[in-house]
Amino acid sequence: MWAGDGDSTIKIASLKTMQIIETIPTGGKGRANELTYDPKDRIVIIGNQVEEVPYATMVSTKKGHKIIGKVMQPMATDGNEQPMYNPADGLVYEPIPVLNHEPKKGGVMSWTRVRRRR
């Protein structure tokens, strides 16, 4: 099981032993919260919404659990919300409740992971 924590980490817990088996820092100071999973590329995407510049962190679920990227969201001046992976188009969608300090303006950000050719 994967879950965000208040210290900007992701905790991986074994459902069999009910113990935390790994802690992955996402590089922030505040909580890592609200995540989604891309089963095609085996990536967890989690929001870091309380940072000075909010962002989303992408972490591989393959052995080693490397952070493979961050999507910075400087226009999200009041944080970000629950990201969702859409298997139909391969995009991640994330609500941004306040754009550029304008409380009556929000939006939805979308992105895809750039894949390198081998």
pLDDT tens digits, one per residue of 24-83: 999 999 999 999 999 999 999 999 999 999 999 999 999 999 999 999 999 999 999 999
Q: Cβ neighbours of residue 10 under 8 Å, at least 6 residues apart?
A: 2, 3, 4, 23, 24, 26, 32, 35, 44, 46, 57, 59
Sequence ranges of the domains in the chain: 32-111
Q: Cβ neighbours of residue 82 under 8 Å, at least 6 residues apart?
A: 34, 36, 47, 94, 95
- Determine how many CB atoms are found less than 10 A away from the CB of residue 92: 21
> If you average pLDDT over residues 100-114, what whole number do you get?
88
**Does pTM surpass 0.75?**
yes
79 near 34, Cβ under 8 Å?
no
